[in-house]
Structure 1
Amino acid sequence: MNEEPRLSAQDMIERLEPALSPMTRIRAVAALLAGLAGAVFVGTLWWSEPGPLPGRTQLAFAVFTVFCLAWAGYGGWLLTRRAALFATDRVIAAWIGLVASLTTTGIVTAVAVRRGTGTGPALAVGGLFVAVALVLTVRAHARRAALLRRVRELTGPEE
Structure 2
Amino acid sequence: MNEEPELSAAEMIERLEPALSPGRRARAVVALVAGLGGALFTTGLWWTEPGPLPGRTHLVFGLLTVICLAWAGYGGWLVTRRVPLFASDRVAAAWIALAACLSTSAAVAVIAGQRGSGLGVSLVVGGLLVVVALTLLVRAHARRAALLRRKRELTGEV
Tell me the TM-score normalized by structure 1: 0.88
Distance 2:19 2:91 in 1: 19
Where do 1:141-156 residues align within 5 Å? 141-156=141-156
Q: Secondary structure at the match of 2:132?
A: helix
> Which residue number corresponds to residue 72 of structure 2?
72
Distance 2:125 2:89 in 1: 26
CA 100–18 in structure 1, closer or farther in 2 if over 3 Å, else same: closer
> Which residue number corresponds to residue 23 of structure 1?
23
Cα RMSD for the two superposed structures: 2.1
Which ranges of structure 2 fall in alignment gaps of 5 or more residues? Answer: 1-7
Distance 2:154 2:24 in 1: 24
Where do 1:93-104 residues align within 5 Å? 93-104=93-104
Are the equivalent residues in 1 in contact too, given 2:13–2:154 (CA < 8 A)? Answer: no
> Which residue number corresponds to residue 122 of structure 1?
122
Number of matched pairs: 151
Higher relative contact order (CA 8 A, sep 6+): 2
Offset of 1:124 from its aligned partner? 0.9
Tell me the TM-score normalized by structure 2: 0.88
> Which residue number corresponds to residue 5 of structure 2?
none
Where do 1:104-115 residues align within 5 Å? 104-115=104-115
Which ranges of structure 1 fall in alignment gaps of 5 or more residues? Answer: 1-7
Q: Percent identity?
A: 68
Distance 1:104 1:147 in 2: 32
